[in-house]
């Protein structure tokens, strides 16, 4: 009985976050916490000379609870830093719905840009 209870609790804890599927064509040198990462929403343009290095899809596991838009972007920023990207571009965004998922579902592309990402027109992350 203890093993069953432990298994159920472990499953629920692991499955509370959004599902993430990512693919990268190359891994660059990881960025530090001091390196800025720009968030480009649907209406923001990617600079012409930025190099795409990967993409990711953030979805719902069915038990997801911490999967609002900003949380997904924070998770994407962590993945971007790990892979060496300094731009996260949202390419698709589906809002939560009563009849569907309770999560924001987004697709993002990851880019490396040689220029100053703080100068780009971008989405301002809301920190709660």
Binned at pLDDT 50, 70 and 90, residue 4 comes out as very low
Binned at pLDDT 50, 70 and 90, residue 18 comes out as low
Rounded to whole angstroms, what are the CA distances from 104 to 10, 63, 67?
24, 13, 6
pLDDT tens-digit map of 61-89? 665 667 788 999 999 999 999 999 999 99
Closest by CA position to 48, among listed 118, 120, 122, 123: 120
Binned at pLDDT 50, 70 and 90, residue 60 comes out as confident
Report the distance separating Cα 25 and Cα 75, nearest Å: 19
Report the distance separating Cα 51 and Cα 70, nearest Å: 24
Burial category of 54 from C-beta neighbours within 10 Å (exposed 0-12, middle 13-18, buried 19 and up): buried
Rounded to whole angstroms, what are the CA distances from 17 to 22, 68, 75, 88?
15, 10, 10, 19
pLDDT: is 73 or 12 the higher one? 73
Mean pLDDT of the chain: 84
Whole-prediction pTM? 0.82
The percent of residues in the chain predicted with pLDDT above 70, rounded, is 80
């Amino acid at each position: 009985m203890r093993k069953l209870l432990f298994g159920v609790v472990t499953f629920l804890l692991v499955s509370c976050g959004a599902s993430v599927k990512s693919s990268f064509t190359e891994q660059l040198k990881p960025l530090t916490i001091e390196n800025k990462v720009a968030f480009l929403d649907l209406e923001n343009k990617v600079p012409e000379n930025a190099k795409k290095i990967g993409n990711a899809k953030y979805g719902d596991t069915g038990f997801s609870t911490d999967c609002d838009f900003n949380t997904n972007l924070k998770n994407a920023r962590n993945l971007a830093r790990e892979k060496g990207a300094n731009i996260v571009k949202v390419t698709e965004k589906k809002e939560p719905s009563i009849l569907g998922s309770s999560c924001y579902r987004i697709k993002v592309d990851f880019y490396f840009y040689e220029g100053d990402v703080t100068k780009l027109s971008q989405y301002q992350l809301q920190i709660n």
